[in-house]
Amino acid sequence: DAKTTQPTSMDCAEGRAANLPCNHSTISGNEYVYWYRQIHSQGPQYIIHGLKNNETNEMASLIITEDRKSSTLILPHATLRDTAVYYCIVREDYGQNFVFGPGTRLSVLP
């Protein structure tokens, strides 16, 4: 069963922020939100994860709503190399394997 819902595709202008939404309305208290991306014909790449606080690293920021039912991955200055499929996954701490859905295909346009 899909635990997350993401738009099928999005476009973003180069240099602008890319905001990728994810709905996870049935998330439980011990489940984390993870984001991966997959550039064409490569393996998925881990981006970031969080439980309830907002997180930031060198790649992106993760904003999780207070009720934890949705989140947004933010790429602050998208480049052409950020064109990829982005996957939002919820997973229990220490336990479950990652189950990938169809993700969002982000196209960064020049």
Identify the CA nearest to 107 among candidates 43, 47, 40: 40
- Residue (12 or 47) nearer to other proteins, CB: 47
Contact call for residue 43 and other proteins (CB under 8 A): yes
Asked whether position 99 contacts other proteins by CB under 8 A, the answer is yes
Among 4, 18, 22, 34, binds other proteins (CB under 8 A): 34
Cα–Cα distance measured from residue 27 to residue 9, given in angstroms and rounded to the nearest whole number: 23
Q: Does 36 bind other proteins (CB under 8 A)?
A: yes
CA distances from 48 to 44, 45, 78, 110 (A): 12, 10, 16, 26
Residues of the shown chain interacting with other proteins in the complex, contacts defined by CB under 8 A = 32, 34, 36, 41-46, 49, 93-94, 97-103
